[in-house]
Amino acid sequence: MPTDKAYKLLAKAKCISHNLAKSLIDKGLVSSNGKKITIARLELPLSANFEVAEIKKPKVIFEDKQILALDKPPFIESYDLSDMFEGWSLLHRLDKQTSGVILLIQENSPFHLKAKEAFKKQAVYKEYICLLHGILADSITINKPISTIKKGFAKSRIDKNGLSAHTQLTPLSIVGKKTQAQAIITTGRTHQIRVHCQSINHPIVGDTLYGNTNDNAKRLMLHAHKIRLLDYEFVSLLPQEFHIG
């Protein structure tokens, strides 16, 4: 059976450039016959059909002179938000595939300094909702240090010599062999929740980096649900795909 590279077939099928086709695949937006394509150079039959997920635009949850709270869709880089909202700077970040509430501030303002200090002192409440593989029957506190290697892209691992990391997981509902859970973190290590969930053999659904590389979920099922900073509290409602059962 004749084959060709996935990005070339996608470019031809959607009448787009090779570079754009590679970018869409790298962002995790492309599926073929119900299976997510994660490797742009994957050999596929010439008859392959493609589905490309839509990237939604971020929505404003709240805005005043000090802070801008956004509802970030999946597949958008956090760093791109400052370009989308002129005059605002990123206060913290979410993984590209993670959705939910994210904060921007006016850089070098008095509030900016207070906000940075609150993050430094771990005085920020951060609550996520995630969908886990397997049945998590009871709440669990995970205190496992994490180190991160950044070579081309960031990847973290449990490391006794790493930085301290604290995650509290609480099961909310169980459907089939999956658990929807609340994750509360006080630290903010790179990929912290993903690494901690994988370390207890309950990787997040859709996490092909730390979970099953053959996971065909359309996205990483991790959502930043609530954040409380100084006198502010913001909530991002769960996307439709999180309503299970």
- Show which residues are catalytic: 95
- Specify the 3-state DSSP secondary structure of 103: strand
- Residue 165 burial (10 A CB sphere; 0-12, 13-18, 19+): buried
Q: 239 Cβ partners below 8 Å, 6+ apart? A: 99, 223
DSSP at 107: T
Alpha carbon distance 146, 126 (integer Å): 18
Angle between helix 6-14 and helix 18-26 axes, rounded to 10 deg: 110
Give the residue from 183, 150, 147, 154 showing the smallest Cα distance to 166. Answer: 183
Give the residue from 43, 245, 25, 37 showing the smallest Cα distance to 131. Answer: 245
Write out the two tokens for 39: 């490797």
Q: How many CA atoms lie within 13 A of 49 on its CB side?
A: 3
Rg (CA), the chain: 19
Strands 140-143 and 99-105, how do they pair? unpaired
Give the residue from 56, 85, 87, 53 showing the smallest Cα distance to 72. Answer: 56
